[in-house]
């Protein structure tokens, strides 16, 4: 199982930050903030099972939109 996990690449990353009471940041606005990063290079570069891709598409992952507007995972890793 570990080798399977190690072979997989990230598709999406969500980050939520909070204070000790669980409050999300609001930056002095009426909104709370979380961050979601979608990566563009998964389908073009990585090994995957087509059944898994079908499931992710049914669950709302838009690989075409990620390819067009997503972040390159290697660039993200360098900057993060």
> What DSSP string describes 33-66?
--EEEEBSSHHHHS---HHHHHHHHHTT--HHHH
pLDDT tens digits, residue range 31-78?
999 999 999 987 666 566 788 888 989 999 999 999 999 999 889 989
d(CA 74, CA 51): 25
d(CA 24, CA 19): 7
The pTM score is 0.71
Tally of structural domains, the chain = 1
CB atoms within 10 A of CB 76: 15
Give residue 46's domain range. 2-79
Q: What is the pLDDT of residue 2?
A: 65
């Amino acid at each position: 199982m570990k080798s399977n996990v190690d072979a997989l690449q990230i598709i999406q990353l969500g980050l939520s930050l909070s204070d000790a009471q669980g409050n999300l940041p609001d930056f002095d606005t009426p909104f709370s903030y979380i961050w979601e990063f979608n990566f563009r290079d998964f389908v073009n570069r990585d090994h995957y099972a087509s059944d898994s891709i079908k499931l992710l598409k049914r669950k709302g992952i838009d690989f075409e939109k990620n390819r067009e507007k997503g972040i390159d995972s290697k660039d993200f890793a360098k900057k993060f």
